[in-house]
């Protein structure tokens, strides 16, 4: 990717995090990040189900709008890695906090090159 002058593209400016785990309001974060970001996803290392393709690697998803719902990002991750893991069992976390599927990336102040961690819930037992 090249910048306007033909040189390398400028790195996106990081926004200072708020103290104490506070978040900027969602709309403010959207206004601060008008362009899509790149998000890295740390996959777990689970060789018990090879069809899930969870090999402990870090995958990068580019062109992700901060207005994406966590559930939409989860769907993109599964398609990107070609995984057979059921979507209902996937959870994403950021900085030790579980992300809720109905919230946007902006509501968690996710920005360019942040690393999210993918986890897999245990299957629910049928009674």
User: Domain segments of the chain: what residues?
Assistant: 34-120
Residue owning tokens 């060789």: 47
The 8-class DSSP code of residue 66 comes to T
Q: Bridge-partner residues for 55, per DSSP? A: 45
Measured in whole angstroms, the distance separating CA 102 from the mean position of its chain's CA atoms is: 14
Give the model's pLDDT for residue 125: 67
Strand locations in 9-113 (E): 37-42, 45-46, 54-55, 58-64, 90-94, 97-98
Token pair of 58 as six digits: 């870090």
Give the model's pLDDT for residue 48: 86
d(CA 14, CA 28): 14
Q: Could you read off the pLDDT tens digit of each residue along the chain, which spans 127 residues? A: 444 455 444 455 677 777 677 888 999 999 988 999 999 999 999 888 899 999 999 999 999 999 999 999 999 999 999 999 999 999 999 999 999 999 999 999 999 999 999 999 887 766 6
Taking domain 34-120, whether its CATH number is 3.40.50.2300 is answered by no
Give the model's pLDDT for residue 74: 94
């Amino acid at each position: 990717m090249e910048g306007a002058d033909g040189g390398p593209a400028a790195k996106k400016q990081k926004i200072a995090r708020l103290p104490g785990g506070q978040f900027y309001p969602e709309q403010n974060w959207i206004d601060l990040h008008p362009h899509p970001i790149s998000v890295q996803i740390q996959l777990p290392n689970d060789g018990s189900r090879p069809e899930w393709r969870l090999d402990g690697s870090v995958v990068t998803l580019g062109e992700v709008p901060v207005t994406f719902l966590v559930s939409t990002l989860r769907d993109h991750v599964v398609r990107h890695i070609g995984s057979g893991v059921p979507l209902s069992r996937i959870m994403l976390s950021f900085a030790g906090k579980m992300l809720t599927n109905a919230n946007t990336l902006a509501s968690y102040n996710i920005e360019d090159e942040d690393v999210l961690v993918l986890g897999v819930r245990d299957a629910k037992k049928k009674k």
